[in-house]
Chains A and B, each alone.
Chain A
Amino acid sequence: MTRKQRRLTLIGSAGAVLAVAIGLIMFALSDQIVFFQSPSDIAEKQIPDGQRIRLGGLVEEGTIIRADDAKVSFRVTDTVNTVQVTYTGILPDLFREGQGVVTEGVIGPDGVFAADTVLAKHDENYMPTEVAEALKDKGVWQGEQ
């Protein structure tokens, strides 16, 4: 092979790998990303059945109900709208009433949000940014600006 052919092979294979990578990324981005929604978004928008979303807000006071087999249900609120959430498993250490929470899962036909992931903040000063901004949107943010 001449120098030119070798260079072309190199560039060709590099281009091929790059194309595959870009293809994978585009496909995954179109399919695998999850949008963040507040309870009001859910009340206002039509979210297709079975679409995974992230729901964030405050855990409404007095709504945590624990059942057997580590099942738990609670309500997530942005103080305007609320959504009923069910979850099976161990809640994060910092999951508390009146605190910010982000859950990921699917809304059932009955309007109950079946979460398979519950995330709470990592330390006591932290509010998930999504939640903070959703609360600011609703004008009910009480922390510092």
Chain B
Amino acid sequence: MIVELGHYALVLAFALTLIQSVVPVWGAVRENERLMAVAPPVSIAMFFLVLLSFTALTIAYLNSDFSVQNVWENSHSAKPLVYKITGVWGNHEGSLLLWALILVFFGALVGYFGTNLPAPLRAATLGVQGWVTAGFLLFMLSTSNPFNRIPNPPAEGNDLNPLLQDIGLAIHPPLLYVGYVGFSITFSFAVAALILGRIDAAWARWVRPWTLLAWCFLTLGISMGSYWAYYELGWGGWWFWDPVENASFMPWLAGTALLHSAIVMEKRDALKVWTILLAIFTFSLSLLGTFLVRSGVLTSVHAFATDPARGVFILVLLCLFIGGSLSLFAWRAPLLKQGGLFAPISREGALVFNNLFLTAACAAVLVGTLYPLALDAVTGEKISVGPPFFNLTFGPLMIPLLMAVPYGPILAWKRGDLLAASQRLYAAFGLSILLTLFTFWLWGMEKVLAPLGVGLAVWVMAGAVAEIVTRVKLTEVGLARGFARLKGLPGSAWGTATAHFGIGVTALGIVASSAFQEEKVLTMAPGDTVNVSGYAVTFDGAAPRQGPNYIEDVGHFTVRQAGVVIAELDPSKRLYPARQMPTTEAGIHTLILSQIYVSLGEPRDTGAIDVRIYYKPLITLIWIGTLFMALGAVFSMADRRLRVGAPKPAARRKAVPQAAPAE
């Protein structure tokens, strides 16, 4: 019953999206208040309907209702409660329902809180959001309905893919989706601005917090996925340049560029057309990511379904949204007036520099991801584009970008002084050189590039600190007053510095862990000891163990430093009988910022076992850095100026109605 209710709610929500797609947009174009007023309540109603639908599916999972095909395919009565809940989105249909839920949630937020937006902008934005929602709901109802029943329900389910039965992966999709789908709002704002043919600083003020929110979650989602791959797949790597990783990384790169260009637009009224285009690109890349991951074009743990009908449907949706919005852009963008002149050396110039390199890097990733698919489709030739390609293209593009990061926030708007900015960065530069030399002295000629990488990362971090120091004029007013002034800094200044610092931290983690890691792959018998970077790792033996829905062989390892036991590790190999599927659980011990990582291979008949042991210096910094970035986004969102003041220009415009755009 509850399942049918959920199904019905979903159909009803789809019917509402059709109204939402037409009525408010028409009202916005015609400046008809009554038609526009339809949008907010409908957006909220849609949210509650999809929420009801999602709740119904969750209840079916909790009750292990195997008469629902989706539950039968992806759940098991012996599965721990938390994975019954997370299993709801651990499959194709359920994850789409989550996608739709977040989509309408964002729409409802604009509908509910957008009272101080210009009415036509709000109505058109919600209308465009309605188009996107309609597309996805239609896709679900026609090809991927999570509420399909099975006539003769089996007694037991098929269980969730064991790789997905992990708390890290349980929260990875919701985070990532809030990120992906969050960009739908910026997309809707951009398309609405194009439809209305006007755009102002108030538009940028509204778009920036949404972009920040989406970017914040996307950052955390990617970071979580990377950490999951690191400890769950047992290869010791944290990023593989796998197409599904790229699928989430491309919107991140474009979104980062958008974040920066929106600042220029808000503060200086320049780069309008470009910002609109970036907003369209960012969400298009999110859609492309969804297509790549969900259509089964790529084979990976994410590709739940390989039904060609679905692939074609998503492809059509993709072409419709991307093609449609870009055509609209080509047609309407010339209407938007350009403003705000600036010299090449200026804050705007630095932000343009940032945008150029980020989009170029994004394009490189896009080519590397799509080229194999295109070549296969055209010539039938199978190739793989792996890490060497990305290291060679993405890497060099990041170097000038990272070098420029500390300059951006220190340069003045309109016309900056490079020399004066450099003077403020002397200390940061000195520290960076010092640490480069120190690293070089530690490792000698063995590693030549790594010390430079360390220096670059330190430069970015120290540059972020220098920005704060410069802002409070610490060197001029003295420590006491300087610290007092820290409190007065706007949230966006803290946000910029924190996020930039995070970039440096992540870069340092990447350089250190890849350049200075030590890896041992060997066969160990019980009692064997191996030395890894000064740590003696002893294999004590292996024993079987029974888990809730799996059985595992657990290896026991003791790590000693100078004879003292510092850690005991229990990596294991699990077997999930429901799917007859083995997984590897790595044993990881964190030493402040570095990690010792042990994963098991096949056991031998003799009691010996293949073992892979890593020492990964500073590797945790990779993920700690992303936390800094997300925190930076939170600081920026907390900036009072983003909320206070934003409504004013909007309110003023309402009072003085403008002539309707020619149409």
Query: Which residues of A come within 8 Å of B, CB atoms?
Result: 1, 3, 6, 9-10, 13-14, 17-18, 20-21, 24-25, 27-29, 31-36, 54, 66, 68-70, 88-91, 93-94, 104, 121-124, 126, 128-130, 133
Stretch of B37-45, B123-131, B428-436, B581-589 on the interface side: B581-589
Instruction: Choose among B235, B299, B579, B582 the residue with the greatest number of A CB atoms under 10 Å from its CB.
Output: B299
Question: In the complex where A9-B344, A34-B383 touch, is A123 in contact with B523 (Cβ < 8 A)?
Answer: no
Within the complex, the shortest CB–CB distance from B474 to chain A, in Å, comes to 34
Question: Are the CB atoms of A32 and B163 closer together than 8 Å?
Answer: no
Give the distance in Å from the alpha carbon of A54 to the alpha carbon of B584 in the complex: 24
Give the distance in Å from the alpha carbon of A136 to the alpha carbon of B142 in the complex: 31
Question: Are the CB atoms of B356 and A123 closer together than 8 Å?
Answer: no
Query: B363 interface residue, CB < 8 Å from A?
Result: yes
Question: Are the CB atoms of B523 and A69 closer together than 8 Å?
Answer: yes
Query: B382 interface residue, CB < 8 Å from A?
Result: yes
Q: Which of A1, A21, A28, A69 contacts B388 (CB 8 A)?
A: A28
Query: Which residues of B come within 8 Å of A, CB atoms?
Result: 161, 163, 234-235, 299-301, 341-344, 352-353, 356-357, 360-361, 363-364, 367-368, 371-372, 381-386, 388-389, 392-393, 396-397, 521-523, 573, 579-584, 599-602, 604, 610-612
Q: Which of A10, A31, A34 contacts B384 (CB 8 A)?
A: A34
Nearest CB in chain A to that of B522: its residue: A69
Question: Are the CB atoms of B384 and A90 closer together than 8 Å?
Answer: no
B371: chain A residues within 8 A (beta carbon): 29, 33
Q: Which of B300, B301, B393 contacts A25 (CB 8 A)?
A: B393
Give the distance in Å from the alpha carbon of A20 to the alpha carbon of B398 in the complex: 12
Nearest CB in chain A to that of B584: its residue: A93
Question: Are the CB atoms of A3 and B341 closer together than 8 Å?
Answer: yes
Give the distance in Å from the alpha carbon of A68 to the alpha carbon of B606 in the complex: 12
Question: In the complex where A17-B360, A122-B163, A129-B299 touch, is A36 in contact with B582 (Cβ < 8 A)?
Answer: no
Question: Are the CB atoms of B382 and A35 closer together than 8 Å?
Answer: yes
Q: Which of B300, B372, B601 contacts A70 (CB 8 A)?
A: B601
Within the complex, the shortest CB–CB distance from A141 to chain B, in Å, comes to 16
Question: Are the CB atoms of B612 and A89 closer together than 8 Å?
Answer: yes
Question: In the complex where A13-B356, A28-B388, A70-B610 touch, is A21 in contact with B393 (Cβ < 8 A)?
Answer: yes
A35: chain B residues within 8 A (beta carbon): 381-383
B393: chain A residues within 8 A (beta carbon): 21, 24-25, 28
Q: Which 9 A-B pairs have the closest CB atoms?
A: A36-B382, A90-B601, A21-B360, A32-B388, A28-B392, A32-B389, A70-B610, A93-B582, A122-B301
Within the complex, the shortest CB–CB distance from A68 to chain B, in Å, comes to 5
Question: Are the CB atoms of B611 and A6 closer together than 8 Å?
Answer: no
Give the distance in Å from the alpha carbon of A36 to the alpha carbon of B376 in the complex: 11
Within the complex, the shortest CB–CB distance from A81 to chain B, in Å, comes to 17
Question: Are the CB atoms of B523 and A68 closer together than 8 Å?
Answer: yes
B343: chain A residues within 8 A (beta carbon): 1, 6
B397: chain A residues within 8 A (beta carbon): 20-21, 24
Question: Are the CB atoms of A32 and B386 closer together than 8 Å?
Answer: yes
Within the complex, the shortest CB–CB distance from B239 to chain A, in Å, comes to 15
Give the distance in Å from the alpha carbon of A20 to the alpha carbon of B393 in the complex: 9
Question: In the complex where A68-B523, A70-B601 touch, is A130 in contact with B382 (Cβ < 8 A)?
Answer: yes
Question: Are the CB atoms of A17 and B357 closer together than 8 Å?
Answer: yes
Nearest CB in chain A to that of B372: its residue: A33
Question: In the complex where A28-B393, A91-B601, A93-B582 touch, is A14 in contact with B356 (Cβ < 8 A)?
Answer: yes
Question: Are the CB atoms of A33 and B342 closer together than 8 Å?
Answer: no
Nearest CB in chain A to that of B375: its residue: A33
B363: chain A residues within 8 A (beta carbon): 21, 25
